[in-house]
Structure 1
């Protein structure tokens, strides 16, 4: 679906991938409704877009707040949403499951799983009413590959993966296209937004930076996927590499990730 002249709702638009998706969608001629929990960072996104988008402060874990969004978007843009690009999400503290408290577990699932469910269930009827529409959910490389120290985050994103693939099947033959995106390492402030301290990186940080995707590139790859009606989008060289490796040898891929994560996990 070409997004020019379409109304696109972008969650997590206050920072990171969500902000860049919103800005890139504006550049491609879309009418953008930017959604985020943080009004301050959302105002920065609006300023970067020269005011060419609407802003909507909402907590996606609040079902009522999410259910109010379609009417607010329609009021701002003069018509219903044509697309939803759901980027909002958080990670967990970098600890093993044994050391992760239930409050952190509940929070990760509330944002990453319940939030995704609220948005999909709320916006799908709206999208089905449009001549052509698109729904995108952001999973993660950690949603198909186990990452020690982030297994609850990964489990929540695996749920997003399967939900989105299921929605693709349920929407087959309709006007609604569905895409799931799997970012690898992207240079965002998700750790700070999640209230999580980022462990100091060991080894050759310069070499590691070569595998980190910029949020601007991630946004372009995601929206290219939308415009190609892609089934899935692997964002970044690392995500593409690990996807191939995991398909060929899941245990070998898991061992590789474990070796990279061991020095980062607090025990």
Structure 2
């Protein structure tokens, strides 16, 4: 990732899964990373693995705007600047119908997935606009453009991230900030363990599961390529084809996701 060498990038959800892998790969390519998460133990493991000279860790609740607003100054105190943010943190919920979800769960998913992303963007935009070139990568999901029964609120939160990113791209298209919208399919991380009651293609070791799932490394590689080539949307694995199908055959896409 030559464009991000010697840059300072903030990664949310950096303690585990795709965020952890992203942090590792960025550091390996010469980037200084600020890993943000609520998992203090996981953050410490990342720090021990990569070294304090390459990574700074901060336990931050992304749903708490006041907490998020303390982060830029801590980044500046440590590294002197910030060149980009990667909004990766996110959660899913139980695979159940909307009528069976309590409001506490609904609000938690929306607060982390959407408002956590929005809080980071609003907080860091003033600093990013001062850099010669800056980056914002928002991790949405294939679930943001194809409906997954039983994951309606998750899909809604990721659709909101998708539209937000596209709108920001339009608002800031003539600025110094480059946007990447990341739309992966199912990613092989601990998050997928919550899908035991999910759609059939996520169960067992079926061929369909292998076709529809990607590794964190594959997602990171595709995001890197998009940043380097100036592409606006990252479609790791089969996501691009599913997106295309969902636009042409929405009813079929909805049936297949069930």
TM-score in same-fold range (> 0.5): yes
- Report the equivalent of 2:142: 141
**What does 1:143-162 align with in structure 2 at a 5 Å threshold?**
143-162=144-163
Corresponding residue number in structure 2 for 1:97: 98
**What are the residue-to-residue correspondences of 1:28-67 with 2, within 5 Å?**
28-51=29-52, 52-67=54-69
Q: Does 1:126 align with 2:124?
A: no
* Farther off after superposition, 149-158 or 239-248: 239-248
Residue of structure 2 in register with 1:264 after alignment:
none
Change (3 A) 1:201 1:169: closer
The answer as to whether partners of 1:146 and 1:254 remain within 8 angstroms in 2 is yes
Displacement after TM superposition at 1:228 (Å):
2.0
Segments ≥4 residues shifted beyond 6 Å = none
- The Cα of 1:198 is off from its aligned counterpart by 2.9
Q: 1:103 and 1:19 mapped to 2: Cα distance?
A: 27
Q: CA RMSD in A?
A: 1.7
Q: Deviations over 1:73-96 (max 9, x none)?
A: 11111x221010110011111101
Give the secondary-structure state (helix, strand or coil) at the position aligned to 2:243. Answer: helix
Do the aligned partners of residues 164 and 26 (structure 1) sit closer, same or farther apart at CA in structure 2, a change above 3 Å counting?
Answer: same
Cα distance between partner residues in 1 of 2:195 and 2:132: 45
Structure 2 alignment gaps of length 5 or more: none
**SS of 2:253 mapped into structure 1:** helix
2:77 corresponding residue in structure 1:
75
**Equivalence for 1:261:** none
Q: Distance in 1 between matches of 2:198 and 2:95?
A: 11
1:166-208 deviation per Cα after TM superposition (whole angstroms, max 9, x unaligned): 111111111011111101011011256xxx4633775762312
Displacement, 1:257?
1.1
